Chain A
Amino acid sequence: MLEFKPFGWKTLLTGLAVMALLGCNAKPYDYQPTAGEMKPGPGVLTGEDGELTIYDSEKGGAFPRDADAQQPGASGENTAPKTAAAGTAAAGPSDQAGEFREFQEFQQWQKEKAQFHEYQQWKNSRAGSAEFQEFQAYQQWQETAQGSPDFEEFQAYQEWKKSGKSSAEYKEFQEWREFKAYQEWKKTQKK
């Protein structure tokens, strides 16, 4: 049953050879077939993943484990990570406060964009980069002295991702935060 006319094999092999040559210079790209199928991505009710998870040992799911945490006797220690993992669907008051803080930061960022872009240009200049290195050293010292803010950063990142913002925009947002920290540092230097 493996008898093919030459045309089919030649077509396939030529195509694969061309792809192999082209593929040497390509970045990975995850293509999902959509013809005749539902396309991947968010759904109206199923959130960013476009999937309804009945149970997930890490995230919870349609019946999230947060419900367990709210039952009498549930330990507070387990509540925070579960809430963070279950996402906005199970967001509690502390998450809402965090979201509001982030929103305020976002508004501030929008207002200060022009000033921030000037700062970026300065940072890339020769004089700026030397001072910036000093600032980075100060940041490292501060982090080791006061502990890592990784968890808060992670939460902010997750929320940002859920809002559908692009990674480039998120990077700029992070740089702006760094700029704000730099401004604070400059104030302390003047004192």
Chain B
Amino acid sequence: MDESDIGDVKFKERKIEFWVGQEYGKLWVGQGDMASNSTAEVDLSGTDVAAYSSMADVGGSFEFQDDGVGTGITVGGSRSNFDGLSRRDRVRYDTPKFAGFYGSASTAGDSRWDGALRYSGDFGWAKLAAAGAYADLGTSSDTQDSIISASASMLFDFGLNLTVSYGKREQDNTDPYNLFGKVGYKFLEKHAVSVQWGHTENLSAKDDEGDSYGIAYVYSPWQSVEFYGSYVLHTLDRDTGSDPDDITALFFGGRVKF
């Protein structure tokens, strides 16, 4: 009997958590978002399924080549949005909302902890969402100390939207950081288009610069269904030696929420 299919199936938990409280805030326990997670990814453009501040999500494993010779540096190894501490087994507390603001703090293994402040408000003529966080990596790394991340997105009622993101990791000798910007437009209720640019410095090596440029379009015929297409150009400007060839990615897809 061929059992290869059984071996190929893997289940990995993404979130398994419970929470208590409402009026005085929420206390979360279990595997879930750390307080700082997604603080570099606030995005109201409607195209985030195809393109957001994590530009390395598109073609992240592709390796840059220099005249057909691999450099050993991938797209994902040369750019990042430094988005906090992701999901972990943790204890987290969220304060109640006050005037659109709420704070969060969480702690996980290896003495990791973080704190975040988030804001969202509707001015009538525009919506604004923003977040900022500090994350301490504790004893989980010998070379990396902390991450600071922030992002904001504004969606005007006529469809124009602007998004910015900043992230930085305190790291021995390099301190890599990322800047991201996006201009988008939502129209006819079901369509969204955007152009975006990301710039990461010092990640693959000191003074290396990874730039990504993209165009994205998303069509949502129903709330639970999205079709998208995206074009991304990844470049790497090395501090030493010649610059490798650019990487171009064109992809289409759909997402259905069941």
Contacts and interface: CB of A to CB of B under 8 A. Distances in A.
Contacts of B119: 16, 19, 23
Interface string A36-47: 111101111110
A35 interface: yes
B132 A12 contact: yes
Given A1-B146, A35-B52, A37-B38, A26 B57 contact: no
A35 B38 contact: yes
Pick from A8, A12, A39, A45 the residue with the most CB of B within 10 Å. A8
Given A4-B148, A12-B132, A29-B129, A41 B170 contact: no
B132 A45 contact: no
A38 B15 CA distance: 13
A29 B43 contact: no
Contacts of A76: none
B193 to A, nearest CB: 16
Given A1-B136, A41-B257, A27 B38 contact: no
Interface stretch (B71-79, B93-101, B203-211): B93-101
A35 B130 contact: no
B100 A26 contact: yes
A35 to B, nearest CB: 4
Interface string A1-35: 11111001001100110011011111111110111
Contact of B129 (A8, A31, A36, A41): A31
A128 interface: no
Given A34-B48, A42-B224, A43-B224, A8 B148 contact: yes
A50 interface: yes
Contacts of A19: 101, 119, 121, 128, 130, 152
A44 B129 contact: no
Interface residues on A, range: 35 or more
Interface residues on B, range: 35 or more
A12 B168 CA distance: 12
B80 interface: no
Nearest to B40: A35
Pick from B48, B49, B132, B257 the residue with the most CB of A within 10 Å. B257
A63 B8 CA distance: 31
Contacts of A44: 224-225, 256-258
A130 B49 CA distance: 55
A28 B117 contact: no
Contacts of A4: 146, 148, 170
A23 B100 contact: yes
Nearest to B37: A33
Given A35-B43, A36-B54, A43-B257, A1 B145 contact: yes
A116 B164 CA distance: 47
A35 B53 contact: yes
B150 interface: yes
Contacts of B148: 4, 8, 12
A78 B38 CA distance: 44
B123 A25 contact: yes
A149 B120 CA distance: 38
A47 to B, nearest CB: 10
A128 B44 CA distance: 45
A15 B150 CA distance: 9
Contact of B150 (A11, A27, A45): A11
A35 B128 contact: no
Given A27-B121, A35-B52, A35-B53, A8 B168 contact: yes
Interface of B: 38, 41-44, 48-49, 52-54, 57, 97, 99-101, 117-124, 127-130, 132, 136, 145-146, 148, 150, 152, 166, 168, 170, 175, 223-225, 256-258
30 contacts: A11-B150, A15-B132, A16-B117, A16-B119, A19-B101, A19-B152, A23-B100, A23-B101, A23-B119, A25-B123, A26-B99, A26-B128, A27-B122, A27-B124, A28-B120, A28-B121, A29-B100, A29-B122, A29-B129, A33-B43, A34-B43, A34-B49, A35-B48, A35-B52, A39-B49, A41-B224, A42-B224, A43-B224, A44-B225, A44-B256
